[in-house]
Amino acid sequence: MSDDTSKALFERAKRVIPGGVNSPVRAFKSVGGDPVFVDRAEGAYLFGANGAKYIDFVGSWGPMILGHAHPAIVAAITSAAARGTSYGAPTELEIRFAEKVIALYPSMEMVRAVSSGTEATMAALRAARGYTGRDLVVKFEGCYHGHADFLLVKAGSGAMTLGIPDSAGVPARVAEGTVTLPYNDVPALEALFASRGKDIAAVILEPVVGNMGVVPPKPGFLEAIVSVCAKHGAVSIFDEVMTGCRVARGGMQERAGLRPDMTCLGKIVGGGMPLAAYGGKRAIMEKVAPLGPVYQAGTLSGNPIAVSAALALLERLDGAVYEKLEALGARLQAGFERSLAAAKVTGCVQRVGSMVTLFFTEGPVTDFASASKADTKRFAAWHRGLLQRGVYWPPSQFEAAFLSAAHTEADVDAAIAASEAALRD
């Protein structure tokens, strides 16, 4: 196919899909040029509609931890589809999925399957409000928890990329139920609880932010969330939609040795299919219908194809996978840091496990304010340079990149070489 294939497809898409894409960051607005339309994917690689091959560091935004089209997962999906694509009725598969999640996340005594990360966070917060009888929700600037109305307040991800941290169409009275604080700011958290603690139902956060680029928690920050919530009777919620089974089998809470009151999961636990989950302490989850008054439902929740894919993936996440991911992540980080130094370009590489961001700003990036100082024009030029050299990197300064177990050292070295060349352009 010609090099103009993606451009032609994009023009065609824009006539029938808002902006030509079904999720905003895909439009490449922050990096310029036209998005790559994908024909297929295998292992660590994407193949564009024009026939070009790319080393993929997006991985469908995280879930492809074993690589694209893993044979065991494809086999599980195919087998499940042959038995019917959706039942709208209970299955043993759902039980096995819940048992597996609970085994990986001891903080989750009960779990409910849903179809997306947005559903998971929305439902978890509704359960927290129902459990506490309070209305106020606390989130952190730059953290993205899906596109529910009351969570599109100082959000990260595409909202930050597009320069619109707040969304039109969100009623002011809905937004008033959400208070935002700077990420990594324990004094601000403690001050808010001192003044309004009796009104706060929950605090929700990404325990490692991926939606304004990779921003790790400072020592003591996650511990403060859990302890302050416990002290004031609020619900601590770790949104591990991105970090769950990514930074460790048991997510960031495993790495930190913490047990939040509730957890939201997605991405990897869905095996690449539309599947997510939320859960937590039994007393909270027993408030969810049909046991309690907090209503949440979904025809496709626990879909047999999605759950089959999830089980096939989760069963393969062993220690060797995480050892490889850590080694590849460290290799990529070191190479990018060398390329910045050699080109005498200001930047910092931030990484937790196999989540990586190269910020074009002096580090460290610790919150929304410091992330916002990044040179997005320099990032856009670098991104174009990578793409021209066959490296598919997230098309936003404010998104995490992901490694998979399908990547090789040669793939990582090729990305480093592409970075070195792109910085010289």
Residue 275 · residue 307 · CB < 8 Å: yes
Catalytic residue among 267, 367, 392, 411: 267
Count of CB atoms within 10 A of residue 69's CB? Answer: 15
Residue found by looking up tokens 């706060």 in the block: 200
- The angle at the Cα of 149, spanning 298 to 58, to the nearest 5 degrees, equals 75
Catalytic residue among 239, 261, 367, 411: 239
267 is catalytic: yes
CA distance 29 to 201: 37
Q: How far is CA 423 from CA 36, 133, 241, 359, 384, in A?
A: 22, 54, 32, 13, 11
CA distance 285 to 287: 5
Residue 62 · residue 400 · CB < 8 Å: yes
Residue 35 · residue 21 · CB < 8 Å: yes
Catalytic residue among 45, 54, 105, 144: 144
CA distance 59 to 394: 9
Strands (E), 83-220: 110-114, 136-140, 178-181, 200-205
Residue found by looking up tokens 């290799």 in the block: 331
Residue 407 · residue 56 · CB < 8 Å: no
Give the active site residues: 144, 239, 267
